[in-house]
Amino acid sequence: MSTDRFQCQLSAGDRSAVGITWSCAAVILACVWKAVHPNVPPPNSRESWWAIALRRLYMTLWTILLPEVVVMRAAAQWCEARRTSEVYQEQHPQDTIPLIVGAGNSKDTDQPKFKKLRAFLSSFVSHSSVPGNEPQWTKTHSYFLSMGGFVTTQSDGKRRIIHPADLGVVTGDSTETAPKLPWPMVEEDDIKDKRKGDTITKVLVIWQTTWFVVQIITRAVEGLAVTELEIMTLAYGVLSAFLYVLWWNKPYDIQKPIVIPASQLEEPDPQESTPPTEPLKASDFLLGRWLAQLDTIIFQGKWYSSDIPTSDIAVCTFFLVTSATVFGCIHCIAWNFKFLSRPERLLWISSSLVVAATPLALTIGPVIFFLVSPVLKKYLGRVYSVVFMKVGNFLYNVSVYIYCLARIVLIVEPFVLLRDLSPSATQPISWTDLIPHV
């Protein structure tokens, strides 16, 4: 009798493998879907609603597979938007006011170190420059420009994207700074109004994610088991926070650009004149050539972006390595969990270590190799160029493949481990049933 009652209590716990999978999948999709901020589609494209949905799904899937690469691109766009705002302030000094109230009358804030600090802080804040009747340039404008939101109509009736370089902003490794067009001054509300009703959705996503995190912390405090799938979901929630911070001022999910009729630019669009990339072959994957095209594979045709300038590579690399390392370290939380078998536990530990350590190793390794290469070349001559370069490239490619394999393991294994939940994992937290959630 007592055994039957215990089984009934377990079945009423509502912590089944299906329930855990549904809860984690809902949080991951909600976090990633809202964290991804697609750019404006090309101005001359005629996409249907389902094509737009597929384009959004394409970006979401890539963010789930390689979130650190999307974080790197978000960092690059953050740098470009920040640089755009700085160029506008340099070209229009009369329209700028200090970020900190009262700083305009302080001589200390005129020093270069304070200017750099203010510029860095203002890169996370969207604010109008001067109150008045004329529209002012804000951080939202800079992001909207970077995402291809401003277009002009050419004499043949074809629309052309206004790029930051057209306004004198240095992009890529170019050095041209002469503006070709006046700045497209529109009201900030005109940009934000192109996507209404987004606040409610964001609030719902934040509420669902907060509930999930509170549930994990509470289970850990009460000594109840947390599944590996919930740890993986927590990792995606943290990486989504990286995207939220970097794209905080970026307009969300805008499908149509703003046409600036007064601006005439007859030069061809440099993005359209770029020759298409050749399809990858099997040998490209074996030799690691696909790595050089990874950014193109993810973003070309789906995401308007400029090349990353050399000056921004350090910032982008920092966010790439940091996000990937944090993602791996969160998975290390499950090291001491009870696994169904020893091989599965070793597989989880090794994969977590690979994901946490490989990005930093792949960043530091080439730097060290570059510093010692003059000495090696001096004493080894041709042996250096033939042996060490090829060995270095081989080890680099092998490390990337091992990293990708470890990422696949950390995605698949959490679902496999749900096949036999422990009694502690099925036991619910009673008070969470009173909180509305998905």
Q: With bands split at pLDDT 50, 70 and 90, how would you rate the model's confidence at 301?
A: very low
Give how far the C-alpha of residue 381 lies from the chain's centroid of Cα atoms, to the nearest Å. 42
| Residue 317 buriedness (CB in 10 A; 0-12 / 13-18 / 19+) | middle
pTM of the entire structure?
0.79
Task: Give me the percent of the chain exceeding a pLDDT of 70.
Answer: 68
Q: Quote the strand ranges of 269-349, DSSP E.
A: none
Predicted confidence at residue 308, as pLDDT, reads 65
Determine the average pLDDT of the residues in 392-421: 89
Are the beta carbons of 389 and 383 closer than 8 angstroms? Answer: no
The H-assigned helical ranges of 339-435 are: 342-380, 382-383, 389-416, 423-426
Q: Which helix (H) or strand (E) holds 259?
A: strand 258-259
Predicted confidence at residue 13, as pLDDT, reads 52
Is pLDDT above 80 for 94? no
Question: What's the number of CA atoms in the CB half-sphere (13 Å) around residue 96?
Answer: 19
Predicted confidence at residue 394, as pLDDT, reads 81
Predicted confidence at residue 9, as pLDDT, reads 40
pLDDT in tens, 206-219: 787 888 888 888 88
Predicted confidence at residue 3, as pLDDT, reads 39
Question: What's the number of CA atoms in the CB half-sphere (13 Å) around residue 384?
Answer: 12
Predicted confidence at residue 294, as pLDDT, reads 62
Report which of residues 234 and 304 the model is more confident about: 234
Report which of residues 345 and 52 the model is more confident about: 345
